[in-house]
Amino acid sequence: MDATPAASPTADTVEDQECLDALGRADEASRESALEAARALSREQQQAQYEEAVHQLNDMLAKAEQFNATCEKLASGSSFLCKDTPAGFTGGVLRDYQQQGVEWLSTKHFLGESGIIADEMGLGKTVQIIAYVSWMRAAPVSDGPVLIVVPLSTLRNWVNEFRKFAPDIPVVEYHGTPEERASLRRRHIPGRPRWAATVPKARRRSSAGSAGSAAARRRGVATMEREDRCAMPVFITTYSLAMNDSAVLGKAVVPWGLLVVDESHRLKNSASRLTEELEGYCWREALSGTQKVILTGTPLQNDLLELWSLCHFVMPLIFADKHAFASVYGFLQLDTVEGRDDVVLRQERDHIVSTLHRLLSRYMLRRTKADVDLELPPKVEVVVYCGMTDVQARIAEGLAQGRLAEEVADMGWHLTPGDSAIAKLVRGAGAKGASALERGLGEAGPVAVSNLHMHLRKVANHPFLFAEPHPPPEDEERDEAASRARAAAARARAPARRGVVLATEAELAELADASSEEEEEEEEEDAQSDEDEDEDGDDGNDSCVLDSMLRRLKADGHKVLIFSQFARTLEILSDYLELRRPEFGAYEHLDGSTPREERQASMDRFNERADRFAFLLSTRAGGMGINLTGADTVIIYDSDWNPHADSQAEDRAHRIGQTRPVVVYRLVTAGSVEEALVHRANSKRALERLGPPD
């Protein structure tokens, strides 16, 4: 069959097609207009729903406040509340606000509620808990034993404080090897858990150590006679052991009546393993259950969802939905929003803060040092800006340009050995291209920028975190001890703006003389060092800030805490203090690797002995929950991204028991990334204003 040729388009068909195209465009425009109208209508509906939700929330809050007032009025007349110092609290006298805190906790207990003690650092949250536990053990409505979960660095301090203030309360320091912990459980946990009595023995053997066995334990709650519950000692353990031993220490084994979590900002992530495991210790049946009390000096650090996580842990039925919480309060961060007027932002925040206060005041008790008649000596913070040396500037430039190895070699230095991060920087990427650092900051992604920022912080901290000078040849005429002293002094010659190392040859000679017995050689070294000091005096002024500060502080009779985030920095500082030992005397050192037994002994030596001038501490390991009132000066060698971590560190000295004014020196490298970090940290401090009022 022959194909019929297609008809050629005529003028009429072309016109018809143009009309169809025009109608199609009009129809498309109409659809877009309808879609925009639908979107606008949806936004109006969403706004209406939002306003209705806020109205309902305010109505619920008003009714809740009325109900709470009635309950508290009834509770105030109850003989069960702790209105006086508990009988078992014999080691001291509670301050008025501490007594109010214990009464507040007893009110929560009476109402079957949990709560947050968010007093500022240094106001004695530990003492309030000890007094509350003393009351609980004598109260006729006590629901069971007490478990306290604390950081490792404060474990021994908690035990000592119990023995000091409530010596009649038995306390178990739940720590040690698996065998030692098993022995503690056998000795101090009476009876057998209900799950063990109800699960057949064969089934227990077959499922031992499995996830199903742990789940079976968590489903039930152990039964225990009141006599046994009251006889059980207070268990104090660490975060890690609370997680690892939850299957053999949780609610299926012990019906815990009170769970206390110290430094509870570790719970700021509601999905963390710690939060999940601690829930395995809590139970609720009818009017009984585990009362949860969490302690923190900084309930708000980064955003409101972290606060929600704390509230959700203590009252999960009230704070059930974090998305609804975020939606109602309308924002997650307190950073300035571009394009928004500050007055408008302030008004919005004031409204949110007011609503938060109404909601939180029920479950959170917060007092600051300014709120109570504490009569603490003042605390003053001084920011010390230090210039960046040429060495630091060259290393920073080499980092930014991807020329770290070349720059270090040009200076006659060598890269710090054993640092995998530095090795990666030097190796760069393989055949697929240069690393982000070698491509330059402009092309780097978010992760690379973050890594570069950390490396630049290290450079501002100390150049030895990246590179070190080649040591001079050993002097064969000196004995081994003198050679080690010389090598250490040579390492200290590298300029560093904070004076961790000594910048002038005069100072180096002074230290070297301590290990030398030849007076003529000492005099020659002093003369030579004086000449070098004249030539390099400006560089010395930039690089001996810390050394000058410490020498003056030592001469004036002060004792100093020095905080850093970096273990390597603490090692360098330790080398420096060893060199200065003839002048400064002994010092203490505490970081994450310090054994548990040594931590408390080190703190006791520093507080009690006059010959301990300085204490080197990790900001995170040594900045929480410990008492170092023997010091009256705090030096923040490098600032933390989270300003509350630094505040925690500062208040190791500025707390109850301090009798002298406390001065905090914060060292900042001018013109470095540290300036931006400190500015960012100051903006985060605005979160502190969101705490509930008294």
- The yes-or-no verdict on residue 7 having pLDDT over 60 is no
Confidence check: pLDDT of 534 > 60: no
What pLDDT, on a 0 to 100 scale, did the predictor assign at position 213?
A: 37
Give the pLDDT confidence score for residue 359 in this predicted structure.
76
Residue 184: the pLDDT is: 94
Give me the pLDDT at residue 553, please: 92
Which of the four pLDDT bands, split at 50, 70 and 90, describes residue 501? very low
Cα(340)–Cα(336) distance, integer angstroms = 8
Q: Read off the DSSP letter of residue 367.
A: -
Residue-wise pLDDT for 33-73, tens only, equals 656 665 665 666 666 766 776 666 666 666 666 666 656 65
- pLDDT recorded at residue 242: 93
- pLDDT digits 0-9 by tens, 623-632: 566 788 899 9
Residue labelled with tokens 């060598």: 414
Provide the pLDDT for residue 12: 52
pLDDT digits (tens, 9 = 90+) for 118-140: 998 888 899 999 999 999 887 76
Q: Please give the pLDDT value at position 159.
A: 93
Band of residue 348 on the pLDDT scale cut at 50, 70, 90: low
The whole-number pLDDT of residue 196 equals: 38
Q: In this structure, are residues 408 and 414 in contact, taking their beta carbons and an 8 Å threshold?
A: yes
Strand 284-285, strand 288-289: pairing: antiparallel
The stretch 206-235 carries a mean pLDDT of: 59
Higher pLDDT, 687 or 161: 161
- Determine the pLDDT at residue 133: 93
Tell me what the mean pLDDT of segment 63-85 comes to: 63
Q: What is residue 447's predicted lDDT score, i.e. its pLDDT?
A: 40
For the chain, what is the mean pLDDT?
Answer: 71
Percent of the chain with pLDDT over 90: 18
With beta carbons less than 8 A apart as the criterion, state whether 637 and 563 touch: yes
* Measured distance between the N- and C-terminal CA atoms of the chain, rounded to whole angstroms: 98
pLDDT at 316: 87
Residue 35 or 231, more confident: 231
The per-residue pLDDT for 66 is 60
List pLDDT tens digits, range 237-267.
999 999 999 989 988 888 898 999 998 877 8
**The pLDDT of residue 533:** 36
User: What would the mean pLDDT of 342-370 be, rounded to a whole number?
Assistant: 74
SS3 content of the chain, % helix, strand, coil (to 5): 55, 10, 35
How far is Cα 89 from Cα 606, in angstroms, rounded to an integer? Answer: 28
What are 54's two structure tokens? 């806020």
Q: Which residue has better confidence, 74 or 516?
A: 74
SS3 state at 232: coil
pLDDT at position 527 is: 40
Helix axes 11-76, 322-329, angle to 10 degrees: 100
Nearest to 313 by CA among 284, 293, 298: 293
Indicate the pLDDT class of residue 572, thresholds 50, 70 and 90.
Answer: confident
Report pLDDT for 167: 93
With b meaning 16 or more CB within 10 Å and e meaning fewer, what string describes 341-368?
eeeeeeeebeebbebbebbbbbbbbbbb
Number of neighbouring beta carbons within 10 Å of residue 6: 6
Using only the alpha carbons of the chain, give its radius of gyration.
Answer: 32
The mean-pLDDT minimum among 11-20, 143-152, 432-441, 648-657 falls in 432-441
- Looking at residue 164, its pLDDT comes to 93
Choice between 329 and 633, residue whose per-residue pLDDT is larger: 633
Rounded CA gap, 665 and 639, in Å?
A: 11
Give the β-pairing of 146-150 and 258-261: parallel
Phi, psi of 160 (to 5 degrees): -65, -40
Q: Residue range 222-233: average pLDDT?
A: 76
> 170 pLDDT exceeds 90?
yes
Residue predicted with more confidence, 350 or 626: 626
| pLDDT top residue among 288 and 516 | 288
Residue 329 pLDDT: 64
* Residues 682, 639 contacting (CB under 8 angstroms): no
Q: What does pTM read for this prediction?
A: 0.65
